[in-house]
């Protein structure tokens, strides 16, 4: 039996970054079902910080998170949290209008270079000739998710917080002003404040607690890795994305990685790659680049979990005291994690609102609360 002030369910990037931030205000314990942190979505991502996904709100959260990645707090990590990796979004002639639109949307958040066909192929020589237009953010960042997770864990522990792995929550009950939380193995915790950072499982956690779910939708995304053509300059290869959500690729540990940007509805589960999406990734590499994927070196899948408006849900549940939502980070949970943690700290710990460009109401879970008939 343990009694911290705040219990965080989920040892992914959402749970650990919020726990680290909250540990300056309270005694915080994180419970993670798996034996290791970041086992699910947080350990399976493309690890990019870029502005070509999401909308204005997601971009604002990303922009607010950038200083943390570029200059982490003293003692947070012994290694850099990321390295500069250019981001190239390219278009065929018939896709030019969509590229113009994205250019206008992103230019508020990042300094972009507009590229003609020659510029596109200089930056990414692997693309086919029909890639005639591009925008490049030379300030893109490829994150080290391990360093990010471990840094947050280190910060949590340095302030007396705890992480318990192998603790899958099986029951949650309200006992007076306290949440009584029981793991599958029977360990019990009593807390006034519960933070639901269970990723794809966050609606299930709400159901366990008798709180109304918010309609989260986990969607599977697949990544493959394979050999690059001889002579490819992997060191300088940009993260390269089609203007439509068809394909992205980049370098990965001496090889190439690619995703067909699939969004296949899924249960909350240990996602596995499906052969169709694996084949689709290879097919689209052949369609948009000069690379022939002869042999797949490795493949994986992970879940990106969205709310219905594709904005995250952060804040206390309006229908239950002390139950805090931190869910729905979709495909941007790593790159927005510092801002999201600061928002959780503000709403729970009472610190100043950290992202002036984002309205609190746009993030609160209240917007999903079912109206009584
Ligand atoms: C292929 C792919 C590419 C992506 N690319 C990017 C990218 O380039 N940039 C970016 O920013 N984001 C990207 N993302 C999204 C990012 O990975 C997620 O938004 C982020 O990892 C979500 O973090 P989380 O902590 O909410 O979820 P998770 O990492 O899944 O953590 C939730 C944790 O809760 C635990 N849990 C669940 N139920 C229980 C229970 N009952 N008891 C205890 N613990 C429980 C789980 O075991 C899990 O570890 C990508 C995702 C995928 C799949």
pLDDT in tens, 64-81: 999 999 999 999 999 999
State the average pLDDT over residues 278-303: 98
Domain boundary among 259, 284, 305: 305
- Residue ranges of alpha helices (H) inside the chain are 13-22, 56-70, 96-106, 117-123, 145-158, 202-209, 275-288, 337-349
Q: Are residues 249 and 211 in the same domain?
A: no
Distance (Å) from CA 333 to ligand 1 centroid: 7
**Integer Cα distance of 40 and 271 in angstroms:** 8
Res 372 pLDDT > 60: no
Local structure of 58: helix, strand or coil: helix
Q: Are residues 228 and 294 in the same domain?
A: yes
79 in any annotated domain: no
Which of 19, 41, 205 to probe ligand 1 with, by most ligand atoms within 8 A of CB? 41
Distance (Å) from CA 136 to ligand 1 centroid: 27
**Integer Cα distance of 242 and 99 in angstroms:** 10
Structure confidence at residue 211 as a pLDDT band (50, 70, 90): very high
Q: Are residues 154 and 294 in the same domain?
A: no
Question: The tokens 């306290």 sit on which residue?
Answer: 178
Atom 10 (ligand 1): residue with closest C-alpha? 332
pLDDT, position 46? 98
Atom 27 (ligand 1): residue with closest C-alpha? 199
Res 1 pLDDT > 60: no
351 in any annotated domain: yes
Closest approach atom of ligand 1 to CA 16: 25
**Integer Cα distance of 336 and 47 in angstroms:** 12
Residue (of 241, 243, 348, 256) closest to 299 by Cα position: 256
Closest approach atom of ligand 1 to CA 15: 25
Q: Are residues 225 and 300 in the same domain?
A: yes
State the average pLDDT over residues 14-35: 98
Atom 21 (ligand 1): residue with closest C-alpha? 42
Range of the domain at 248: 86-139+218-305
Which of 10, 273, 281 to probe ligand 1 with, by most ligand atoms within 8 A of CB? 10
22 in any annotated domain: yes
Res 370 pLDDT > 90: no
Q: Are residues 300 and 314 in the same domain?
A: no
**Integer Cα distance of 347 and 170 in angstroms:** 27
Give yes or no for a contact between 370 and 44, defined as CB atoms under 8 angstroms apart: no
Whole-model pTM? 0.97
Closest approach atom of ligand 1 to CA 305: 19
pLDDT, position 29? 98
Identify the residue with better confidence: 370 or 215: 215
pLDDT, position 369? 84
Q: Are residues 295 and 324 in the same domain?
A: no
pLDDT, position 2? 66
Closest approach atom of ligand 1 to CA 330: 19
Res 373 pLDDT > 70: no
| pLDDT > 90 fraction of the chain, expressed in percent and rounded | 98
Res 144 pLDDT > 80: yes
- Digit-coded pLDDT (tens) for 261-290: 999 999 999 999 999 999 999 999 999 999
Give yes or no for a contact between 32 and 168, defined as CB atoms under 8 angstroms apart: no
Long-range CB pairs of 177-186, under 8 A, 24+ apart, other chains included: 177/321, 177/322, 179/7, 179/209, 179/322, 179/323, 181/7, 181/9, 181/31, 183/31
pLDDT, position 371? 61
Q: Are residues 174 and 244 in the same domain?
A: no
Q: Which residues line ligand 1 (CB under 6 A)?
A: 9-15, 31-34, 38-42, 44-48, 168-169, 197-201, 221, 223, 302-304, 329-335
Cβ within 8 Å of residue 81, ≥6 positions away: 68, 69, 72, 143, 144, 147, 148, 151
Q: Are residues 350 and 232 in the same domain?
A: no
Exposed, middle or buried, 265 (CB in 10 Å: 0-12/13-18/19+)?
Answer: exposed
State the average pLDDT over residues 22-51: 97
**Integer Cα distance of 202 and 103 in angstroms:** 34
pLDDT, position 339? 98
pLDDT, position 271? 98
Q: Are residues 193 and 299 in the same domain?
A: no
Average pLDDT taken over every residue of the chain: 97
Which of 68, 333, 343 to probe ligand 1 with, by most ligand atoms within 8 A of CB? 333
Domain boundary among 305, 323, 355: 305
Residue (of 216, 209, 195) closest to 344 by Cα position: 195
Structural tokens at position 292: 């022939």
CATH (domain of 232): 3.30.9.10
Which of 164, 199, 312 to probe ligand 1 with, by most ligand atoms within 8 A of CB? 199
Closest approach atom of ligand 1 to CA 220: 53
- Other C-beta atoms lying within 10 Å of the C-beta of residue 145: 20
71 in any annotated domain: no
Going 75 to 76 to 78 to 82, the CA torsion angle's sign is negative
Give yes or no for a contact between 190 and 267, defined as CB atoms under 8 angstroms apart: no
Q: Are residues 244 and 287 in the same domain?
A: yes
Cβ within 8 Å of residue 18, ≥6 positions away: 8, 195, 197, 326, 340, 341, 344, 345
Closest approach atom of ligand 1 to CA 222: 1
pLDDT, position 3? 81
Structure confidence at residue 161 as a pLDDT band (50, 70, 90): very high
- Digit-coded pLDDT (tens) for 340-369: 999 999 999 999 999 999 999 999 999 998
The Cα angle at residue 242 between residues 236 and 248, in degrees rounded to 5:
55
Structure confidence at residue 12 as a pLDDT band (50, 70, 90): very high
72 in any annotated domain: no
């Amino acid at each position: 039996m343990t009694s911290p002030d705040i219990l965080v369910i989920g040892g992914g990037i959402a749970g650990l970054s919020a726990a680290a931030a909250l540990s300056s205000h309270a005694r915080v314990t994180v419970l993670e079902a798996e034996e290791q942190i970041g086992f699910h979505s947080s350990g399976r991502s493309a690890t990019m910080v870029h502005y070509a996904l999401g909308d204005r709100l997601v971009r604002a959260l990303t922009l607010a998170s950038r200083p943390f990645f570029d200059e982490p707090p003293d003692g947070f990590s012994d290694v850099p949290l990321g390295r500069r990796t250019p981001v190239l979004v390219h278009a065929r002639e018939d896709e030019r209008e969509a590229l113009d639109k994205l250019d206008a949307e992103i230019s508020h958040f990042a300094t972009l270079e507009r590229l003609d066909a020659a510029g596109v192929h200089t930056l990414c020589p692997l693309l086919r000739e029909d890639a005639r237009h591009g925008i490049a953010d030379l300030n893109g960042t490829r994150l080290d998710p391990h360093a990010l997770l471990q840094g947050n864990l280190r910060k949590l522990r340095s302030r007396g917080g705890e992480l318990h792995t192998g603790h899958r929550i099986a029951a949650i009950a309200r006992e007076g002003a306290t949440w009584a939380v029981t793991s599958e193995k029977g360990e019990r915790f009593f807390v006034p404040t519960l933070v639901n950072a269970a990723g794809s499982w966050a609606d299930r956690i709400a159901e366990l607690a008798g709180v109304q779910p918010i309609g989260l939708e986990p969607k599977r995304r697949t990544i493959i890795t394979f050999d690059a053509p001889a002579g490819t300059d992997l060191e300088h290869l940009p993260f390269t994305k089609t203007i439509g959500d068809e394909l992205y690729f980049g370098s990965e540990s001496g090889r190439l990685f690619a995703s067909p940007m699939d969004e296949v509805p899924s249960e909350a589960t240990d996602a596995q790659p499906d052969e169709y999406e694996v084949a689709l990734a290879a097919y689209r590499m052949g369609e948009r680049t000069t690379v022939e994927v002869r042999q797949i070196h490795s493949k994986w899948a992970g879940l990106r979990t969205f709310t219905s408006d594709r904005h995250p849900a952060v804040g206390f549940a309006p229908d239950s005291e002390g139950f805090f939502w931190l869910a729905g980070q979709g495909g941007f949970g790593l790159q927005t994690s510092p801002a999201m943690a600061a928002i959780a700290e503000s709403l729970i710990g009472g610190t100043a609102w950290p992202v002036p460009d984002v309205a609190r109401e746009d993030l609160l879970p209240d917007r999903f609360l079912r109206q009584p008939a």
